């Protein structure tokens, strides 16, 4: 775990032994894989200092050096701030993890018209805590899906979290309830997913679609209701991925009318129950569990902490 300290607009990192022969350039390119545009902005804007002076980007750090990055700005959010009662699962100077209630959209498609999305709530949360900056979501959850979702509080955190997501280093574990009795204990869906040309929002399994990998494990079976509770985790993040894969397999999610489920719940029975990743700045292992929020409950007798 790295030792870091926030000092106003700057983040100070104490260089560990394993970085002593690295340079700022190595850190940005090899370790953080920072996008070129953002790297250029930090280089030209002299937003990186080493031991109290502007850094020489090619000079090795040495042990115990103090690297400072100007990460935090006083820019006001470019989206209206709206109070919504959304539980916070984890928060620090760089990121925010909400437990998203169902029936809330992750972000507005029309920012001037939609002001009750989770992104609006994130902007309000930051302002209420005296923080500014352009907060943004790292991934999405469908409107009717609940659970853990990550927001970046500044552009550099956003870039590094995007890299983790792209490299499949953010593990997202879901709980779903599907119709029918799934045979076997576990399995993987690997069929590609594309748009449904006959419906504006629906997706479908398609040989010309994008790669999609969904792993699942049966948690329990409800014989009386003919429902199976499953744990799912994703290798990719396609729109409606879990919903499409289970529907294609003949086990649509309960409550998911768009993909053939029956209206036994007020929404599709899908909850993002757990998030795991290594913090991009501190290298701390982050593990968040998102309690179920439905009242009356949809997911019954499930121990999140054993997923």
- Residue 274's closest CA among 229, 236, 234, 227? 234
Region 28-50: mean pLDDT is 95
Q: Are strands 95-100 and 285-289 parallel, antiparallel or unpaired?
A: unpaired
* Local confidence band at 151 (pLDDT 50, 70, 90 cut-offs): very high
Q: Which domains does the chain have, with CATH numbers?
A: 3-70 (3.10.290.10), 73-167 (3.30.2350.10), 172-271 (3.30.2350.10)
What whole-number percentage of the chain has pLDDT above 70? 100
Higher local confidence (pLDDT), 226 or 110 = 226
Q: How confident is the model at residue 280 (pLDDT cuts 50, 70, 90)?
A: very high
User: What's the order of all strands across the beta sheet hosting 10-14?
Assistant: 3-7, 10-14, 66-70, 48-50, 53-54
Q: How confident is the model at residue 237 (pLDDT cuts 50, 70, 90)?
A: confident
Positions marked catalytic: 142
Q: How confident is the model at residue 77 (pLDDT cuts 50, 70, 90)?
A: confident
What pLDDT is stored for residue 64 in this prediction? 83
Q: What is the band of 109 on the pLDDT scale with cuts at 50, 70, 90?
A: confident
pLDDT, one tens digit per residue, over 238-256 is 999 999 999 999 999 999 9
Beta bridge partners of 13: 4, 67
Gap between the Cα atoms of 13 and 64, Å rounded: 9
pTM for the full model? 0.94
């Amino acid at each position: 775990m790295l030792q870091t300290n926030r000092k106003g607009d700057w983040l100070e990192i104490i260089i560990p032994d394993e970085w002593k022969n690295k340079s700022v350039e190595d850190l940005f390119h090899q370790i953080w894989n920072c996008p070129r545009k953002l790297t250029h902005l930090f280089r030209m804007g002299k937003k990186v200092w080493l031991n109290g002076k502007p850094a020489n980007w090619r000079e090795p750090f040495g042990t115990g050096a103090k690297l400072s990055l100007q990460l935090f700005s006083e820019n006001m959010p470019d989206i209206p701030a709206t109070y919504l009662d959304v539980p916070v699962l984890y928060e620090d100077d760089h990121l925010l993890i909400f437990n998203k209630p169902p029936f809330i959209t992750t972000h507005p498609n029309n920012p001037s018209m939609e002001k009750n999305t989770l992104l609006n709530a994130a902007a309000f949360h930051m302002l209420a805590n005296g923080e500014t900056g352009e907060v943004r979501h790292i991934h999405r959850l469908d409107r009717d899906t609940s659970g853990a979702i990550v927001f970046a509080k500044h552009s550099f955190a956003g870039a590094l979290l995007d890299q983790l997501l792209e490299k499949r280093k953010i593990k997202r574990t879901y709980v779903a309830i599907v119709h029918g009795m799934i045979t076997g204990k576990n399995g993987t869906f690997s069929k590609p997913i594309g748009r449904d040309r006959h419906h504006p929002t629906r997706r479908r399994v398609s040989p010309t679609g994008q790669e999609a990998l969904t792993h699942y494990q049966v948690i329990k079976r409800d014989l009386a209701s003919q429902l199976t509770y499953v744990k799912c985790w994703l290798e990719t993040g396609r729109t409606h991925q879990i919903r499409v894969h289970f529907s294609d397999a003949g086990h649509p999610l309960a409550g998911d009318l768009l993909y053939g489920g029956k209206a036994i719940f007020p929404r599709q029975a899908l909850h993002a129950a757990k998030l795991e990743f290594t913090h991009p700045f501190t290298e701390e292992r982050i593990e968040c569990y998102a309690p179920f929020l439905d009242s009356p409950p949809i997911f019954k007798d499930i121990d999140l902490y054993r997923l």
